[in-house]
Amino acid sequence: MGRSSFRQTGIVLKGLIFDIKRFAIHDGPGIRTTVFFKGCPLKCPWCHNPEGIDPSPEIIVSDDRCIACFDCVAVCPKGAIAEAGRTVTIDRANCDLCGECVRVCYAEALEIVGREIDSDELMGEIRKDRIFYEQSGGGATFSGGEPLMQFDFLAETLSMCRDEGIGTVLDTSGFVSSERMIGIAPLVDVFLFDVKHMDSSIHERYTGVPNGPILDNLELLAKRGALIVARFPLVPGFNDSAENIEETASFLASAGIEEVRILPYHKAWLAKYEKLGKGVRPYMADVPSKEDMSGVIAAFRGHGLKVAVGG
């Protein structure tokens, strides 16, 4: 596919991202630049990027960095920041994200997560490591959040990567209309496709959405010959039952998927929930043991799937 219809009319699209990670080696083949889009239709309480769920910019507070100078309290035009011992609290309902507090916070304890960027600027970032893509078979990975929530901006950027010979990977929850999934597929070299649970009611109870569109889209892409690496986030108490693992492995094998990556639950992201200050209770569970992992790996391999852990 050539230049997008937007670019042909001179329109430069803008999107909202919350991070760009260079020299990534776990987000697809080779050395990659991973772009994290903000906004996701799923609300997984174990999400390791909870700052990517809300589709709007947010302010975060890192208590461990705060030096209690309270310059932010003095400068806030809305009076939305208050002292709280050796740190501060923010009345987010009153905060208009003007950024004045961030400007005077020399300890970098305050940060606005989510910035607008246009496709030309984003491509400028992606191009910086072109030589490493060429030497390693890498490219750009689009993650999140859910990139497909910003469909036009994603399609525009993917199209620009295509035009410049930069490989593309899409890390997706799969929760999008089939029309959009079909539309984006020609611009994607590899899909990293999450499959979380085979029972739709359980899936919806924990993530906020049913799994029907997700499973349908995976099968649709597979039938069209897309290269898909399935990813299974192993979350104890949610999807680690022998029955669900067996059903998941059977489904992936029957869909023609050849490779699955198991992503074991961990707790490295817990501090992010505190920084967001939303009062959301993250999902708490024990980290899967080596014995647990061995059993899951064996179940997937039993269906002829190539299995890796992480990435």
Where in the chain are the domains?
A: 5-55+115-309, 58-113
Worst-scoring range by mean pLDDT, 29-43, 85-99, 112-126, 268-282? 268-282
Whether pLDDT at 202 is above 60? yes
Measured between alpha carbons, how far is residue 261 from residues 1, 177, 277 in Å?
30, 24, 32
CATH superfamily of 5-55+115-309: Aldolase class I (3.20.20.70)
Confidence band for 8, pLDDT divided at 50, 70 and 90: low
In the prediction, which pLDDT does 1 show? 41
- Quote the pLDDT of residue 4: 54
Predicted confidence at residue 103, as pLDDT, reads: 98
* pLDDT digits 0-9 by tens, 171-199: 999 999 999 999 999 999 999 999 999 99
Question: For residue 39, is the peptide bond before it cis, meaning its omega torsion is within 30 degrees of 0?
Answer: no
pLDDT of residue 3: 47
Angle at 188 between CA 187 and CA 191, to 5 degrees: 155
Neighbours of 252 (CB within 10 A): 24
CA distance 139 to 137: 7
The pLDDT score that the predictor gives to residue 153 is 98
Q: What is the pLDDT of residue 277?
A: 85
Q: What is the pLDDT of residue 2?
A: 44
DSSP E strands in the chain: the ranges are: 14-24, 32-37, 58-61, 81-84, 87-90, 110-113, 115-118, 139-143, 167-172, 190-194, 228-234, 259-264, 306-309
Q: How many CA atoms lie within 13 A of 121 on its CB side?
A: 11
CA distances 157 to 78, 164, 244, Å, are: 37, 11, 36
Return the pLDDT at 68: 97
pLDDT in tens, 215-253: 999 999 999 999 999 999 999 999 999 999 999 999 999
Please give the average per-residue pLDDT across 123-148, as a whole number. 98
What integer pLDDT is reported at residue 95 of this predicted model?
Answer: 97
pLDDT tens-digit map of 55-113: 999 999 999 999 999 999 999 999 999 999 999 999 999 999 999 999 999 999 999 99
Q: Are 9 and 156 in contact (CB under 8 A)?
A: no
**Structural contact between residues 238 and 201, judged by C-beta atoms closer than 8 angstroms:** no
Is the pLDDT higher at 28 or at 10? 28
Fold of 58-113: Alpha-Beta Plaits (3.30.70)
